[in-house]
Structure 1
Amino acid sequence: MYSYIKALHIIFVVTWFAGMFYMPRLFVYNTEAGEKNEAERNVLRAQFKMMMKRLWVGITWPSAVLTLVFGPWVMVNGGWDKMLFSPDGQWLLIKLVFVVLLYVYHFTLNNIYKQQMKDVYKYTSQQLRIWNEVATIFLVAIVMLAVVKQSISFVWGLVGLVAFIILLMSAIKIYKAVRAKK
């Protein structure tokens, strides 16, 4: 039974992340539609709103909830909860902190979703592009902690994560410069 619960947890984590990766892209496209003429803008925004609603309500939110259901279930059935506050469980405690922060990120996306559904555009497409990469940072941190566990030191893990963030933000800057030239 444990393997099935774990498999379901992983499936819903994957679908949740898929939604969190694609949703900010739709925010970017919806924001950039504002630069089009009125007829184009209206058609594009209607389409993007429909896509956002289907993705957010039909996939991302249910996946977030089911991840939250199956995660603790896996933790308890796998006996992980017993080691949570022991030295061997430090990786799990740190991972859970990242998971809590991931839910905070999810709620920020929910706020942007609600704003854009009401035609409120508070962020530029560039800001949304940067915000889009936050899910990638969480994915890397959480997967590294889940797979590598105690084999990685906290300091080297943090250094690696900071280096990854710097690389990611540099790539965004380069992409922006390339787009500006076109």
Structure 2
Amino acid sequence: MLWLKALHLIFMVTWFAGLFYLPRLYVYHAMSDDAVSHERFKVMERKLYYGIMTPGMLCTFIFGFWMLKDYAWSLYSAAGWLHLKLILLALLAVYHGFCGKWLLDFKHDRNRHSHIYFRWINEIPVLLLFAIIWLAVLKPF
């Protein structure tokens, strides 16, 4: 059981590293004004999203649901904290999807957002990480 938790945490950290860094790349991409920089950012963003973030997310969910099935499923109906954690994870998956949409917007040179927009967007995973960890560790209800 502990190896499942370890793998879940390793891939969660991997996923969040990408969730923190990709919007930061979008900030710099939105600020750039030359073709060489635009092409460089497109490569970096694609590799981060498809090579690190998406596999990290998928493995986080696989090992998380495996633990849920093996351990916490019997507690599921009585664990309000777990319900809220799963809702927050769904929101995080939606955020991940928006990161993919913005990736495509930059790829096709149709980004309409400023660097300030992406600076604010970059704070969303921080808030979700704080709430998810707080729920998972403290199990307040």
Bin of the TM-score, shorter chain as denominator length:
over 0.9
Does residue 1:6 correspond to 2:16, yes or no?
no
Q: In 2, distance between residues paired with 1:105 and 1:52? A: 15
- Residues 1:81 and 2:80 aligned together: no
1:146 aligns with 2:139: no
The structural deviation recorded for 1:54 is 1.1
Q: Which runs of 5+ in 2 are unaligned?
A: none
* Partner residue of 1:45 out of 18, 38, 44: 38
Structure 1 residue matching 2:77: 3-state secondary structure: coil
Name the larger-Rg structure.
1
Q: Any runs of at least 4 consecutive aligned residues in structure 1 with deviations exceeding 3 A, and if so which?
A: none
Cα displacement (A) at 1:51:
0.8
**Could you tell me which residue of structure 2 aligns to residue 94 of structure 1?**
84
Amino acid at match of 1:13: M
- Paired with 1:125 and 1:27, the residues of 2 have a C-alpha distance of 7
Match of 1:110 among 87, 100, 108: 100
Give the Cα–Cα distance (whole angstroms) in 2 for the partners of residues 56 and 101 of structure 1: 17
Per the alignment, residue 158 of structure 1 pairs with none
Report 1 or 2 for greater relative contact order, CA contacts < 8 Å, sequence distance ≥ 6: 2
Matching of residues 160-179 of structure 1 within 5 Å:
none
Measured after TM superposition, the shift of residue 69 of structure 1 is 0.8
In structure 2, what is the Cα distance between the partners aligned to 1:66 and 1:105? 17
* Structure 2 counterpart of 1:112, one-letter code: W
Give the corresponding residue for 1:54: 47
For structure 1, list consecutive stretches of 5 or more residues without a partner in the other structure.
35-40, 154-182
After superposition, the C-alpha distances for 1:98-119 in whole angstroms (9 at most, x for unaligned) are 0111101111111001111111
Aligned residues: 141
